[in-house]
Amino acid sequence: MGSFSLWHWVSVLLIVLLIFGTKKLRNMGGDLGGAVKNFKDAMNEEKNKGSAPTELPRQDNIAGHTVEGEVKNRQQS
C-alpha cells in the first residue's frame, strides 16, 4: 500500500490521456510554463527596482531655498 507500482502510473497516465487528450494537455503545459515565466520576470523586475534606491538631493544643492512650512514649524517649537 505504501508505494505505487510502475503499472499503476502507466494506467493513470493512459486514463488522463483518454480524458483530456494530448492537445489539451499540451495547451495546459504551455499555459503553465508561460505563467511561471511571467512570474519569474516580475520577481526579477521587482528585485531590480528595489535594489536601486532613489537619491535625495544633498543639503548643498538645496541651500538658499526655504520652505515656509519648515520655518513656521521651527518658530512655533
From first to last of the 77 residues of the chain, give the pLDDT tens digit: 567 889 999 999 899 888 888 888 888 889 999 999 999 999 888 877 765 556 665 655 555 665 566 555 555 54
* Confidence at residue 77, expressed as pLDDT on a 0 to 100 scale: 46
- In terms of residue numbers, what domain contains 33? 21-48
Q: Is residue 39 part of a domain?
A: yes
Of residues 37, 54, 56, 34, the one with CA closest to residue 45? 37
Question: What pLDDT score was predicted for residue 21?
Answer: 87
The number of domains in the chain is 1
Which residues in 43-55 are b (16+ Cβ under 10 Å) and which e?
eeeeeeeeeeeee
The whole-model pTM stands at 0.43
The predicted pLDDT at position 70 comes to 53
Q: Indicate whether 53 belongs to any domain.
A: no
pLDDT of residue 33: 93
Residue 11, in any domain of the structure: no
Does residue 35 belong to any structural domain of this protein? Answer: yes
As a whole number of angstroms, the distance between CA 13 and CA 44 comes to 35
Domain presence at residue 70: no
